[in-house]
Structure 1
């Protein structure tokens, strides 16, 4: 059973966090979820092996397709009507694949800071393999220490919110080493569907990208926006603009809540 929380009232949004993050991390940063006053019923969960959800060393459990199936199962358990799906980074990949698995169930999509894909994916896979070597040779604590020295966040975001890097490191430090090795193995086997296959997915989609982050390159966001027929793309490069994302997500979900009923 995955650790799940429900908050707010209104149309349902099922949301997935990013790789090596958790619900707690997202609550502490506030990038995607308002502290109060949401117009949306948010169903959030810790992915397998993350946060307070159980994990295993079975790589198959962490593939994006498996995470998409987890997301759909949670969404279907919470709402019989059309629902919105969304997520950050790995979570956005899960949401996209879930929508492709059950397009008639989904009212809209929110893809926040999509991960490396297609042309940029091999370089990210090399990073994951390097992380595995560090864990194998020196342990998870060493990887956490290196992450503290080299935060994987845009400089403009770190300048405004240095504590967000600490939140990311703490999320990483809570993971089980064996699970993380399997999670990284799975990440090395994953990529987004080919752009030409996305042309058939006629679901309103809000794509949220930010500048100066090679792990979440604008190239992916822009290619998704070009491939998805009903996509809206927003690109930011300031902490002030980031503060508007939770309400913009709410507004997008509410606008499309009943469009596919």
Structure 2
């Protein structure tokens, strides 16, 4: 895989480029930085979006968190401020080269491999980069990050999970409807139908396997979201041995709560230990 520079730009985002994956698919990415701090040498945070979304959709909440870090007094060490990247997953946004490759490429397990490749292509040569990357996402992106931590645990430094979608028994009750909707969509839009079909077939690894994920994890969800139920977040918090669970009552509160929870978690897990060791 390789990172290919370009001048793509979106409101509030820095110039980015494209990462060429192993199968030739190219996914565009953009970088995010605190408004009042220089880009530090902190761990890379690769954040994936939800199904049918785009890389820009979660940017406001992430940017708010980065700006809050940049406004801290005293400021955190530059080595603790994450270099944050959002990207279009295959089949989404401005990604290309994935067409006609079948629905299995959209299983969360396959998307996890893509996420790991994005992280590998973009992490820097600093000590923070050598220590691994932070992976996270919203919904589909969050579940992909969980798979990635299981597939390649040595390169994942932590997980940031926003509104994990259903899995296991919670998903089995929805799968028939998801498959039906995907097949209907294939008739009018084959490419979009394959995307939905791959997502409908997706699931997380068995629960016992997730217990082996030892890295710190932040889990944030809303109690009134039936697509991303709080019960799912609670199950994950019980399974992941080093997790912090943040539940809010309403989806309307979610992004603001996520920004604050992310800053608190980053400060506790990365800023404070670095300051203590200085």
**Shorter-chain TM-score above 0.5:** yes
Aligned runs of 1:56-67 on 2, under 5 Å? 56-57=99-100, 58-67=102-111
Segment of structure 1 superposing worse, 227-236 or 250-259: 250-259
Picking from 201, 206, 217, the partner of 2:213 is: 201
How far has the Cα of 1:17 moved from its partner? 0.5
Quote the residue 2:64 is aligned against. 34
Change (3 A) 1:35 1:109: closer
How far has the Cα of 1:254 moved from its partner? 4.9
1:21 aligns to 2:53 (yes or no): yes
Structure with the larger helix share: 1
- Gaps in structure 1 of 5+ consecutive residues: 140-176
What SS is found at the alignment partner of 2:57? helix
What SS is found at the alignment partner of 1:256? helix
Deviations 1:191-237 (A, max 9, x none): 11111111111110111111111111111111111111111111002
How far has the Cα of 1:132 moved from its partner? 2.6
1:249 aligns to 2:274 (yes or no): no
Q: 1:178 & 1:246 partners in 2: Cα distance?
A: 37
Q: When the two structures are superposed, what TM-score results if normalisation uses the length of structure 2?
A: 0.72
Quote the residue 1:5 is aligned against. 30
> For the Cα contact (< 8 Å) 1:108–1:204, is it kept in 2?
yes
Deviations 1:225-252 (A, max 9, x none): 1111111111002434631312422442
What SS is found at the alignment partner of 2:90? coil
What SS is found at the alignment partner of 2:160? strand
> For the Cα contact (< 8 Å) 1:114–1:221, is it kept in 2?
yes
Quote the residue 2:113 is aligned against. 69
Deviations 1:150-169 (A, max 9, x none): xxxxxxxxxxxxxxxxxxxx
Q: When the two structures are superposed, what TM-score results if normalisation uses the length of structure 1?
A: 0.76
How far has the Cα of 1:32 moved from its partner? 4.2
Quote the residue 2:75 is aligned against. none
> For the Cα contact (< 8 Å) 2:183–2:197, is it kept in 1?
no
> For the Cα contact (< 8 Å) 2:186–2:194, is it kept in 1?
no
Change (3 A) 1:191 1:206: same
Q: Computing the radius of gyration over CA atoms, which structure comes out larger, 1 or 2? A: 2
> For the Cα contact (< 8 Å) 1:64–1:93, is it kept in 2?
yes
What SS is found at the alignment partner of 2:31? strand
Q: Which has the higher contact order (CA 8 A, sep 6+)?
A: 1
1:226 aligns to 2:249 (yes or no): no
> CA-atom RMSD, angstroms?
2.2
Aligned runs of 1:1-261 on 2, under 5 Å? 1-8=26-33, 9-10=39-40, 11=42, 12-27=44-59, 30-34=60-64, 37=67, 39-54=81-96, 55-57=98-100, 58-79=102-123, 80-81=129-130, 82-136=132-186, 139=188, 177-238=189-250, 239-240=252-253, 242-257=255-270
How far has the Cα of 1:76 moved from its partner? 1.1
Change (3 A) 1:22 1:196: same
Deviations 1:13-48 (A, max 9, x none): 111001111113333xx3444286254321111000
